Each structure stands twice: as C-alpha cells, then as structure tokens.
C-alpha cells in the first residue's frame, strides 16, 4: 500500500475551516507558500493569488519580501507572464534547510494543491517539525495528515483555486468572490481553467463554473490567460508531441494507450520536462481508448526512474487511475493521477499493462 494511501486512511481530512485558517493567517507576518514540484496552472494560480492577498492585508507590519511563493522543479514557460518576479522564487533543495530559505524563518507555511510527502520531498527539511505552523489546502483524495496541523481538504473541488478563491475572499473580508481585486482573481481563474482542461474535463461542475464566472466579473481576463498559456507553445513542444504520438502503443484491445518521452527526445527537441504536459489528452481522443498513460524518463537520479501521468476518459463508470497508481506509491484524482516508478520506461509499461488489465477485468 502506498504512503499516500496510508496517509489518506489515517485521516487525511479537514481539521479546520477556511474561516479558521483565514483568521490564523491574518496574524502571520512571514509566510512561505508552497506547492508540489513541477507546478501547473492550479498550483501557480493558487499560490500567486494567496501571496497577493496576504500582501494586501499585511499593512505596514508585513514586509512583502517575507510573503512569497517558493517553487522547485521545472516551471511552465508562461510563469513570468502570470506572476511578478518578486512574488515567487525558484529554489533548489540545497537552499532549503531546517532554518527555511536563506536563514529566513517563516512563522507560517501554506501548502496548496498537495498534502503528500511524496510531492514535497524537496522541502521536507523545511516542513518537518513545523506542523503547528503549517496549513494545507488541497483537493486531492490522498495525502499525509502529519504534513500540517491545520488542513482543509475538499476532494470534490474541481481545482484548489476554487477553495483558495473562498480563502482569499475571507482574508480580504469581501462580500463575494466578485469583489476580489482583479490581480487576485486572474491567477485563480487560470487555476480553475487549466485543471478542468479549459472546462472540458469531467471534473467541471456547477461550483467551478460559478466561481469562474465570479472571477471574470472580478476582472480576470480569460482571453489574455488563454493566449498567454495555451497559444505560445514553442515549436519544440510540438516536435516532442509528434515523437510521443508516433511511438504510441495500444494495448488491451486498444483500451489502453501508452506514450513515452525519453530523455533524448527532450534534449533533441530543445524543450523542458514542463513541455510534456497534456499528452494523454491526445490519446484519449482516440475512439475506444479508455485509459492513457504518459511515461517520462527522469534523469539525474542515479538509477532508472520513470514518471507516470495517467488519465481516464469520462464515462458512466470511469477507470480509477488513482487506485491503479497506488501500486507505485502514487495517487491523485479518480481520473487524473501520477506516480514515480523505480525502473525503466519499458519496465513501467509492462507493469502498467498488467495493472490496467486487472482494473478492466
């Protein structure tokens, strides 16, 4: 059983309300905002929105330099068009220690869009021993309750930005999300849009749409966000997509699609690992395919390591890919999950075919 699944069974659930979390955060002066490695739109949108909100309520006693998002792992190419350079810092694990970053001791740590030690490995030294001053706001099923004393978990939320929109409203004491500042509303809209595949995935629900509409009313420029994040792909990204699709394998009567991204593909196309996102959606567009997995070779670990990203197609009873990936210590959502497999891509393929076959039988 995976560490993440054990955490969920041991009580990965809410221990505080958003109102209680907001009240506590109002008293904090030095806040470190974290998320999972290789942050996506929901992770970046939620963290930047919270940083901006906390800076707004900080007043004269809070130094903006002490309220910042810290990212680790590759960032999307569009990050700097969404966030200001002083609002975040890309840090390496060597800069993070038990004293914080560069010896700055935070009096609050907020973790958004994850609560799993597996996804917080690079910042574990910072989190350990600070559970009493750590907050987790997450919308995933799996996580570890010992990451934070204060937790708000809502696995029914389409994106963590749905939850953070309400947290920002409470922090700023606005009567509705429509009254949020445009600079806060915009990254929140981005998170909801990207985590729902721009409102086409099965996780779209009335709450997500209402929140998105409220954020547009608050000033989010959805056209600009789409242009900045979805219509500025590098040519190398499309070449990488082409390579992955040309090597796609279909298994189990064409119900399972496997796409591979080797390290040499990344180097030869001149892109980064952040450019491999969304590949599974291409495979799910094929008639008959119910599950798609993207297997990416991870370099620099000293041993063969494969990153797995899985999605399943919307259906009356969709395949629970998060349950499949518990065999590798992974997790996530029912129809979108990830894991890291200690082995080569070919070895990971064989295991995935076996596990998906069991799930489909």
Q: Dump pLDDT digits (tens) for 1-48.
A: 233 333 444 589 999 999 999 999 998 988 999 999 889 999 999 999
β-sheet bridge partners, residue 291: 256, 312
3-state secondary structure of 294: strand
pLDDT band, residue 102 (cuts 50/70/90) = low
Residue 83's nearest CA partner among 122, 113, 112, 43 is: 43
Contacts (Cβ under 8 Å, ≥6 apart) of 338: 307, 308, 309, 310, 325, 330, 331, 332
> Using CA atoms, how far apart are residues 215 and 225, in angstroms rounded to an integer?
13
Long-range Cβ contacts of 235-239 (<8 Å, 24+ apart): 236/269, 236/270, 236/271, 236/275, 237/269, 237/271, 237/275, 239/269, 239/271
Unique residue bearing structure tokens 């196309």: 269
Per-residue confidence (pLDDT) for residue 279, from 0 to 100: 86
CA dihedral 32, 37, 41, 46 (to 10 degrees): -20
Per-residue confidence (pLDDT) for residue 95, from 0 to 100: 59
Residue 51's nearest CA partner among 25, 37, 39, 69 is: 69
> Using CA atoms, how far apart are residues 336 and 203, in angstroms rounded to an integer?
10
Return the structure tokens found at 321: 């890919």
Per-residue confidence (pLDDT) for residue 6, from 0 to 100: 38
pLDDT band, residue 166 (cuts 50/70/90) = very high
Q: What is the residue extent of each domain of the chain?
A: 3-230, 235-360
Residue 160's nearest CA partner among 175, 143, 172 is: 143
**Which of 121-125, 203-207, 275-279 has the weakest average pLDDT?**
275-279
Percent pLDDT > 90 in the chain is: 60
Q: What kind and span of H or E run contains 58?
A: helix 41-58
Whether 213 shows a pLDDT value over 90: the answer reads yes
3-state secondary structure of 221: coil
- Say how far residue 101 (Cα) sits from the centre of its chain: 22
Top pLDDT among 122 and 187 is at 187
> Using CA atoms, how far apart are residues 39 and 314, in angstroms rounded to an integer?
24
Domain 235-360 maps to which CATH number in 1.10.760.10, 3.40.470.10, 3.20.20.60, 3.10.310.30?
A: 3.10.310.30
> Using CA atoms, how far apart are residues 310 and 41, in angstroms rounded to an integer?
18
Neighbours of 228 (CB within 10 A): 16
> Using CA atoms, how far apart are residues 320 and 236, in angstroms rounded to an integer?
32
Residue 66's nearest CA partner among 85, 87, 94 is: 87
Unique residue bearing structure tokens 């749409």: 209
pTM: 0.77
The CATH-assigned architecture of domain 3-230 is Alpha-Beta Complex (3.90)
Cβ–Cβ under 8 Å, residues 12 and 148: no
> Using CA atoms, how far apart are residues 265 and 133, in angstroms rounded to an integer?
42
Top pLDDT among 273 and 203 is at 203
Q: Strands 336-341 and 331-332, how do they pair?
A: antiparallel
Cβ–Cβ under 8 Å, residues 165 and 132: no
Contacts (Cβ under 8 Å, ≥6 apart) of 313: 284, 289, 290, 291, 319, 335
């Amino acid at each position: 059983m995976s560490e993440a699944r054990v955490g969920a069974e041991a009580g990965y659930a809410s221990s505080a309300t958003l109102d209680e979390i907001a009240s506590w955060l109002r008293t904090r002066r030095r806040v470190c905002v974290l998320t999972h490695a290789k942050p996506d739109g929901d992770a970046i949108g939620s963290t930047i929105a919270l940083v901006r909100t906390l800076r707004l309520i900080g007043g004269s006693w809070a130094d903006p330099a002490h309220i910042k998002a810290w990212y680790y792992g590759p960032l999307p190419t569009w990050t700097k068009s969404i966030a200001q350079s002083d609002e975040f810092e890309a840090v390496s694990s060597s800069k993070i220690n038990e004293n914080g970053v560069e010896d700055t001791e935070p009096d609050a740590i907020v973790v958004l869009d994850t609560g799993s030690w597996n996804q917080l490995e690079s910042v574990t030294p910072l989190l350990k021993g600070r559970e009493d001053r750590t907050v987790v706001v997450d919308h995933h099923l799996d996580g570890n309750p010992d990451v934070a004393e204060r937790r708000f978990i809502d696995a029914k939320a389409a994106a963590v930005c749905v939850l953070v929109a309400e947290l920002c409203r409470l922090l700023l004491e606005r009567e509705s999300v429509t009254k949020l500042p445009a600079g806060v509303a915009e990254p929140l809209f981005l998170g909801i849009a990207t985590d729902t595949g721009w409102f086409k995935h099965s996780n779209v629900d009335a709450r997500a749409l209402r929140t998105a509409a409220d954020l547009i009313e608050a000033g989010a420029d959805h056209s600009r966000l789409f242009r900045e994040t979805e219509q500025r792909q590098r040519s190398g990204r499309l070449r990488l997509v082409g390579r992955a699709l040309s090597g796609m394998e279909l298994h189990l009567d064409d119900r399972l699609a496997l796409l591979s991204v080797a390290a040499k593909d990344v180097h030869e196309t001149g892109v980064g690992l952040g450019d491999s996102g969304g590949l599974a959606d291409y495979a799910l567009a094929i008639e008959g395919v119910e599950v798609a997995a993207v297997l990416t070779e991870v370099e620099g670990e000293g041993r063969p390591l494969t990153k797995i990203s899985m999605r399943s197609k919307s259906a009356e009873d969709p395949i629970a890919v998060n349950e499949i990936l518990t065999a590798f210590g992974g997790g996530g959502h029912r129809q979108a999950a990830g894991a890291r497999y200690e082995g080569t891509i070919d070895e990971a393929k064989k295991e995935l075919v076996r596990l998906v076959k069991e799930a489909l039988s």
